[in-house]
Structure 1
Amino acid sequence: MIRLFKHYIPHAVVLLGLIDMALLLTVGDLGWRLRAAQIAMDPGPVADRAWQLSGYCLVILAAMIAVGVYGADALRSMRFATARILVAISLGIIALTFLDFLLGGGNFWRSTLAYAMVGSVVALVMNRLVIGGILGVSAFRRRVLVLGAGHRADRLRQLSDRPESGFVVVGYVLMTDSKPVIEEAIARSAISNLTRYVENLGASEVVLALEERRNALPLADLLRIKTTGVHVNDFSSFIERETGRVDLDSVNPSWLIFSDGFSSGRAISSAAKRVFDIAASSLLLFLTLPIIALFALLVKIDSKGPAFFRQTRVGLFGQPFDVIKLRSMRTDAEANGAQWATKNDPRVTRLGRFIRKTRIDELPQTWGVLKGEMSFVGPRPERPEFVADLEEQLPFYAERHMVKPGITGWAQINYPYGASIEDSRHKLEYDLYYAKNYTPFLDLLILLQTLRVVLWHEGAR
């Protein structure tokens, strides 16, 4: 994987994105030239329309990221990829048309966009057919040797078997005398030279997956392997990189302390984030005020009770604050105390199901962003009644409160449901990854991919 602003991106996605960018620029220019030829106009040098072509390329790429064109499902299914490419390009063209209106017209011709739209669909689909046909599914998978043959090694095997996996395990080495979970593992005593064994397998990375490190850490072997240029990684760091989450089953306080992350140089990023929150929340409140007012009226008509719902949540540094949402449940929804939301929750009203799926009920929370109690991106704020239990049952749960809570977040786009302690554990793993690796780049990815969650109703309850 390639690490970009502290976030790992698979090599296949990077290559595909770069080729897509080149194709979009080429198709955009061809559309321009075709339209110029039809009206007998000299298209002029490419430099004269560089910003229009760049704008077209960036907007379409942003739309593709937003709807999941570079997600795991799209990378392994042509049908899935084609459907999302069509949606992305359609949304991108709409956005460019609106942008052209704001800029006064004449920058993105509608006829040029129409030609570019058709050409882009064909070019991007063909790109995936060619890349997949020539390079194959496993072309960019790294070759990994696992030192260990227990349950951790078995977890790596299961992870590598996933179609979207970025690595393939080329071997397992049994490092202790304990009974192996991986039956095909080769005993360390049967390998005379582990460094040469790694070279013969063509492994580019060695992962230490020992169940117990005490008196079993092969320091001499790891040092020799490292000095030959092969990357050596520990189990927890490898899982974090490959899954985008902090694995609670294997991490300990020392790993969190000494691993990369929780950078002290985020003061400027935090200031920029706050400026963005103020500007974006002010604009969003202005644009959506009629929608909020309309659905507030509809909520009143649909069921008895207030239009808005106020609830105490735990925010930055564990401080309580109130979130405001459009009411989507009956007023007696928690007559028997606080309850987890469930799928097809019977407490949700008829209109409530719609505003939850479309996230319209979340719009009033923008006021909390403007006040500084929340951000657009961050861990989902939880209720004090649940936080007390979760902090007792889940390790490092309090650390998620070291960043400001958000309307959307890394956990929400990767693990949408949170209706139990086990679900909260999985979401905490993503929240810790976000808190550990936060950058404005990661915020941008989350904001873009939130559109995918809204469009396909992923995680709505």
Structure 2
Amino acid sequence: MSGVRRSHPSLPAIELEPSVVRQQYRDWGYADTNGFQASEWARRGINLLLALVAVIVTLPIMLCVAVLVWLTSRGPILYTQVRIGLDRRAPATGTQNHRREQDLGGQPFTIYKFRTMRVDAEQGSGPVWAQQRDPRVTAVGGLLRQYRLDELPQLVNVLKGEMNIVGPRPERPTIFAELREHIAEYPLRQKAKPGITGLAQINHHYDRSLEDVRTKVHYDLEYIRRQSVTEDLRIMLKTVPVILLRRGGW
């Protein structure tokens, strides 16, 4: 479920708010305990099982969506884009910091979605924030976004191990680079594998401003602090009414 329905325009220079990040966020993902590893294996197994079941159950829906996209607008059925994924690196120190200055912030991967915009939709306007009645979005695309059906192909990303069902939403490299210049905590989202839905998505609407991004970052970091199999299942269950009632969807 995409929490970001936009590509970023150039962001205005603003004063960074005081960091709310504690060391527990920075250290997440580097513990080498048996308990941590067992939990990660359990979560990976659950994600694989649920994604496989979801693909089988939603396959008829995905086929119908594919036909609708193909019949109603020119262009490919699927939309692919490079996004920034999990950052498995330990915190850099000393001379490592200089070497990492140009790092993307995480492992790049290709995300899959049903296409909801017209071909070359950003060619004239460039990247813009999300908006209602977006002229770039097709009629069918608008319906898919309301019910988050355009995100279904990301189940393949889950099966490939690039995403989880629950986690922070991944961003494209150029937007990620810009956001981390304005929100000090933003790169810490990459300490969890990106997801289709997340704590931010069930509590907040699509991004329409930098403040929306800040709010979602705080939700994402809170998720990282308390992530577990139980927390993932809770967020999955809470995602259902968000989709059915179209909360935050356009």
What are the superposed Cα offsets for residues 340-360 of structure 1, whole Å, 9 maximum, x if unpaired? 322221211111111111111
Over 3 Å counting, the alpha-carbon distance change for 1:250 and 1:354 in structure 2 is: same
Give distance in 2, aligned partners of 1:411 and 1:252.
16
Aligned to 1:267: 37
Give distance in 1, aligned partners of 2:195 and 2:107.
14
Aligned to 2:23: 257
| 1:377–1:408 contact (8 Å) kept in structure 2 | yes
What are the superposed Cα offsets for residues 19-56 of structure 1, whole Å, 9 maximum, x if unpaired? xxxxxxxxxxxxxxxxxxxxxxxxxxxxxxxxxxxxxx
Give distance in 2, aligned partners of 1:343 and 1:415.
16
Over 3 Å counting, the alpha-carbon distance change for 1:258 and 1:383 in structure 2 is: closer
Asked if residue 460 in structure 1 is aligned to residue 249 in structure 2, the reply is yes
> Which residue identity lines up with residue 362 of structure 1 in the other structure?
E
Per-residue deviation, 1:258:
6.2
Asked if residue 410 in structure 1 is aligned to residue 199 in structure 2, the reply is yes
Relative to the length of structure 1, the TM-score reads 0.44
RMSD: 2.1
Asked if residue 386 in structure 1 is aligned to residue 167 in structure 2, the reply is no
Aligned residue among 357, 381, 401 for 2:190: 401
What are the superposed Cα offsets for residues 206-252 of structure 1, whole Å, 9 maximum, x if unpaired? xxxxxxxxxxxxxxxxxxxxxxxxxxxxxxxxxxxxxxxxxx95545
Aligned to 2:8: none
Give distance in 2, aligned partners of 1:383 and 1:421.
16
Aligned to 1:447: 236
| 1:338–1:385 contact (8 Å) kept in structure 2 | no
Per-residue deviation, 1:368:
0.3
Over 3 Å counting, the alpha-carbon distance change for 1:299 and 1:438 in structure 2 is: same
Give distance in 1, aligned partners of 2:36 and 2:19.
24
Aligned to 1:303: 73
Larger radius of gyration: 1
What are the superposed Cα offsets for residues 125-171 of structure 1, whole Å, 9 maximum, x if unpaired? xxxxxxxxxxxxxxxxxxxxxxxxxxxxxxxxxxxxxxxxxxxxxxx
Asked if residue 438 in structure 1 is aligned to residue 227 in structure 2, the reply is yes
Aligned to 1:41: none
Give the SS at the match of 2:247.
coil
Aligned to 2:95: none
| 1:262–1:437 contact (8 Å) kept in structure 2 | no
> Which residue identity lines up with residue 257 of structure 1 in the other structure?
Q
| 2:28–2:191 contact (8 Å) kept in structure 1 | no
Matches within 5 A, 1:307-326: 307-317=77-87, 318-326=106-114
| 2:83–2:109 contact (8 Å) kept in structure 1 | yes
Per-residue deviation, 1:415:
1.2
Aligned to 2:94: none
Give the SS at the match of 1:335.
helix
| 2:188–2:221 contact (8 Å) kept in structure 1 | yes
Aligned residue among 46, 53, 65 for 1:276: 46
Q: Which runs of 4+ in 1 moved over 6 A?
A: none
Give distance in 2, aligned partners of 1:268 and 1:419.
39
Give distance in 1, aligned partners of 2:208 and 2:84.
17
Per-residue deviation, 1:442:
1.3
Relative to the length of structure 2, the TM-score reads 0.79
Give the SS at the match of 1:316.
coil
Aligned to 1:331: 119
Give distance in 1, aligned partners of 2:40 and 2:207.
27
5+ residue gaps, structure 2: 1-15, 88-105
Aligned residue among 291, 305, 308 for 2:61: 291
> Which residue identity lines up with residue 212 of structure 2 in the other structure?
D
Per-residue deviation, 1:303:
1.0
Over 3 Å counting, the alpha-carbon distance change for 1:385 and 1:419 in structure 2 is: farther
| 2:114–2:153 contact (8 Å) kept in structure 1 | yes
Give distance in 2, aligned partners of 1:286 and 1:436.
32
Per-residue deviation, 1:436:
1.5
Aligned to 2:213: 424
Give distance in 2, aligned partners of 1:268 and 1:406.
20
* Greater relative contact order structure (CA < 8 Å, 6+ sep): 2
> Which residue identity lines up with residue 77 of structure 2 in the other structure?
A
Aligned residue among 144, 151, 158 for 1:355: 144
| 1:328–1:355 contact (8 Å) kept in structure 2 | yes
| 1:341–1:419 contact (8 Å) kept in structure 2 | yes
Give distance in 1, aligned partners of 2:184 and 2:229.
27
Over 3 Å counting, the alpha-carbon distance change for 1:258 and 1:377 in structure 2 is: closer
Give distance in 1, aligned partners of 2:133 and 2:40.
38
Give distance in 2, aligned partners of 1:288 and 1:316.
27
Residues matched between the structures, number: 212
Give distance in 2, aligned partners of 1:412 and 1:274.
21
Over 3 Å counting, the alpha-carbon distance change for 1:258 and 1:397 in structure 2 is: closer
Give distance in 2, aligned partners of 1:427 and 1:258.
18
Matches within 5 A, 1:119-138: none
